[in-house]
Structure 1
Amino acid sequence: MDTTVADPLVGRVLDGRYRIESRVARGGMATVYVARDLRLDRVVAIKVMHANLAADDEFVARFIGEAKAAAALSHPNVVAVYDQRTDGEHVFLVMEYVPGRTLRDLLTERGRLGPRAALEIIQPVLAALSAAHRAGLVHRDVKPENVLITEDGQVKVADFGLARAESASKMTKTGLIIGTVGYLAPEQVLSGNADVRTDVYAAGVMLYELLTGELPHQGDTPLAVAYKHVNEAVPPPSGLVPGLPQQLDVLVTRATAREPAQRPQDAGQFLALVAEVHGGLPPDIDWRVEQASYGRTAVMEAPQPPPPVPGLPHGGRTAVLSPAETGPSLVPPGDHAPRRGVGATGRYVLIAIGAVAAVVLAWSVWYQTSGQYDHVPDRLIGMKVADARQALADAGLRARIAPEVYSDRVDKGEIAKADPAPGTRIAKGETVTLTPSKGRVPREVPDVRGRSLDDAKRILRDKGLQPGRESSTPSQTVAKGRVVRTNPAAGEKQSPDVPVQIVVSSGMSMPNVVGQKGDDAANRLRSMGLDVKIERRRDGRRPGDTVLSQNPEPGTGVSSGDEVTLVVNRRDCLFGEFFCDDDRGRDRGDRLPVPPVIGQSFDDAKRALKSSGFKVKIGSKLGDRVVGQNPLPGSSAQRGQEITIWG
């Protein structure tokens, strides 16, 4: 435990509620303290983000969202998240305080665990992960350091969602892979992507480490270890620990398959397999494996299990006995070596005969029944429906297709679930129910109206949706190049497998003002935010002071601030050209319509108002877009009058 007394936070009260009492540990992302909740008078753990991460707005936003998701988990094997707060520069998480030690501490102390004890620890870990997976949450950083063992032997998993928040941070260095490299799945190394099967891989690596005391892939650098995860399979743990049952090799190799589709498809499936293997282990398997690891052969007499050791679940029976604990004897602690003498040999002969008889009987039963049973094929999940049907037929089983369900684990049209589960023992001719995926779980379409096309695409991708076909439409209210709407509309739900269509503004449609009075046409265009330039020439065949031509042409897309040129016919003059051509001031004092600028950027709004003949005053500016103006849009104001805008 880190007992540094110089920590400036020790003794402080955060957010007026949490008094920091001592520092527990410091990691790469945060510092953990023991604190007291003054309002509820209880001890809590406070995880305070490091300053560099707390200064990153993107990280903080993602961290808060992930903290909320983690707080929604309610499971006895999950460290509870109580609160998330900010106090000045400190961004912190309030969690359940779990007195005890980490699984890493236990491994450091004991080296490795026996099969039964290892499975008794991995089961509550998988139960916690299964609850998270059902809630749509991926841990991303499963490792012994994040597994806590309480003083009474209860197992709890910590730090749900935090690795996801850190991996999304712009503070993350280019090329840095989040997560402890020894537990990274190949897909995390190659692309940084992670789903529930990534957690399964890490749990499989952790099971290997519990059984052997070592990580399966080791190297001189993190990059070398990551390379092995991608290019080398995790070896069976029995290669390091002689005597381990084959079922444990199968558990580890299935969970750590390099192809995600070949693993158990979530922690719940892995947990079911682990529970089945655990239930079939002999009670004394830990002692037997320990003896085999020292090159000894267990005696024929039924051995007793080793004594309880505090700090382990399920009664706390230890998985590993050191040579000092076992001594040179070939029998478990508490037993006495068999006496040598005349009766010993006869007793061994009887035991041997009984063992041979049991083997013969077991073989006979197997011979009579083995042809009647099979197993549900392992690779059904992720198969196309037709391929899954064929796989079942090849195994002598029937298929029933259930209604489609949404699934984030497999693509549309592939098998998302099989009942009974893959690997289950089943009688030949029985029916397996296959449930196809109809795509990933729908997500809410975000509101991207008024955003640039690039921003809109980025926001959609951040929400797990894919941008689809783009189209354009004229708009009098949305600037050219900005998003008018999406299909489906904002707030509706869409599966990520179906693209979201984006409609972009092509700008306002240039009206036809040819033949209109020059002043009326100019005022109309200025109210649209256009910069109107007037040229005059004489055409005796047309009425005076009317528009002869315009540029751009009618129907052209235009945006606020664009320049428009009107050619206006000179008026008939009674007293000479001087009194007719009075462009120098004939419009002075005219009232003009005020153009609408609400929703525009401040630069676009200023440009539109100035080109319409007004001055601009900016009031409060809390955002980057105009939310109000005075006078209101559609009213009239004196040319040159000051228009106030604010945001």
Structure 2
Amino acid sequence: MDATVADPLVGQVLDGRYRIESRVARGGMATVYVARDIRLDREIALKVMHSHLASDEDFVRRFIGEAKAAAALSHPNVVAVYDQRTDGEHVFLVMEYVPGRTLRDLLDERGRLGPREALEIMQPVLAALGAAHRSGLVHRDVKPENVLITDDGQIKVADFGLARAESASKMTKTGLIIGTVGYLAPEQVLKGSADVRSDVYAAGVLLFELITGFLPHQGDSPLAVAYKHVNETVPAPSTVVPGLTPEIDLLVTRATSHDPARRPQDANQFLAATAEVHGGLRRDFDERVAAASYSQTAVFESGPAVSGHTAVFGAGPTAPPGYTAPPGYEAYPPERTAADRAIGAITGKYVLIAIGAVAAVILGWAVWYQVSGQYDHVPDKIVGMELNAAKQQLQDDGLQVQIASAVFSDRVKKGQVVKSDPPAGARVSSGSLVTLTPSKGRTPKDVPNVEGKSLNEARDTLRDKGFTPGDVMKESSTTVEKDDVVRTDPAAGERHSPDEPVKIVVSTGMSMPPLVGRNAEEAENQLRSMGLDVNVDKQEDGDKPPNTVLSQTPEAGTGVSRGDSVTIVVNKKDCLFGDFFCRDGGGGDDERIPVPNVTGRTVDDARQALENSGFRVSVVGITGNIVRIQTPNGGEAPRGSTVTLVRGP
């Protein structure tokens, strides 16, 4: 089976107006496309219902009603619904197109958020839910996938009221629990009913996930997770992330109370409490929590294994002295009286009977779910699998597979699956398309500057910053000592994934310049400007010009370091008509003239000034356009002799 499957709707025009351009997501109820409204010439999103739901009259009727309610909901943090249309077998919504990414994408990239940042994201989410609750609309499926983040950082919530429409489908009247199981309130599991307080529960779970990086209830199947929602409380996030305040713990534990009456009574109350807690945090609170959590990083990098976290889940938070909760959001749960405990002892056996009945109902649903033959679900363990293995497993289960572009992830290794669409555990029909997103390694970060360090020091620094030292290459350098690091590849400051090695370039020292045939004084000055110890030997060679270099040790191109001893052999002056005609300049005694100080000037200006004064100029150095060193520097020197300039940045 091919890895990519063409979508037959792409390229079609629905209702004579909406041209579908590309598919962006596929869920359990619908597929979302980017389209263009030909009439208004604007980009929009189309949410096209799956055919098995579109053929259900009860569903379509309820869906149209809910779409009208969602369209009436106008709020800057709500994805706008423009219209609901039908074109043949296609029932679809016309919605605002929000370019950007989902909150799930952000979590996949970051692992978890700082608590202050998490509260900042929760406030527009709760504002959107609060607007819906004031209109009598319940979301029923609050989760990171339904929270969109625009390119400029604005938060928008999508899919208001659609889960309720799905609950009317004949396909769901045999016991299927509506909503994503990881965020379901206990009453949704037990009764299949939801009100605004169910959205508050899901928002509390979402806040826990943003702060800790994983859902509070884990299990091998949707049934196991649903059972935990009914029988286990959501722990305080501070039991996982040290350094949190009791107020943050209280936000989560009260919002996720099993008793809806104990929760904030709608998203607006939850928003007021969240804003108050956020306002009381220091601006550097996230950095402080990160520092407190550093020692536990290794525990969580391997993933949210439930057994690894159960032991630290405590009994819950207590409010700090003097803390006053917002109205409707009491700081302390009421203490149980002796009478309450006595009644609890008497009724305990009935509670066990009720739990057994609930388990029987859930078990009946699970049996139907598994044997109905019409549906399958995306395997729970698909995230973290090697891409090819995940693809093969899905295909063996009768599902089609599409591979999305790889993304960076700090939690999933390179080549493994970061996420699936629909997500793991989602219920899908046989033959449905599942999109897998592979990891291309950990999120890039800045390569540290190790220039001038020894090779071992550079390797240690790279490892300390999370990088793997790579191959070692060598090149000459006039500024870096032999065997020290010249640069890295990628260069210092560039963004680079820690999963890719960093190459190290080591200096072979300065390169001995070619001097044979050059003027002896000029050659000597250049060598001294390089910090070398110069020895000058003389010998006579009548076939070569006088006062020129006959040979050099070491040879040109050899690596040298400051302080090294080098030797040049100079042809001594021996002319037929005496020394007078052999001197540079053509005759007469050497005239000594002042040497201008050009340090700090540009190379071109310095060269012009020295040449105008009667000197030759030699420029050494690789980079920069400013004279940093000159030899000789001031004083007097023979007219026509060479002044060496060392350039630098």
User: TM-score scaled by structure 1?
Assistant: 0.46
TM-score (norm 2): 0.46
Which structure is richer in relative contact order (CA contacts within 8 A, separation 6 or more)? Answer: 2
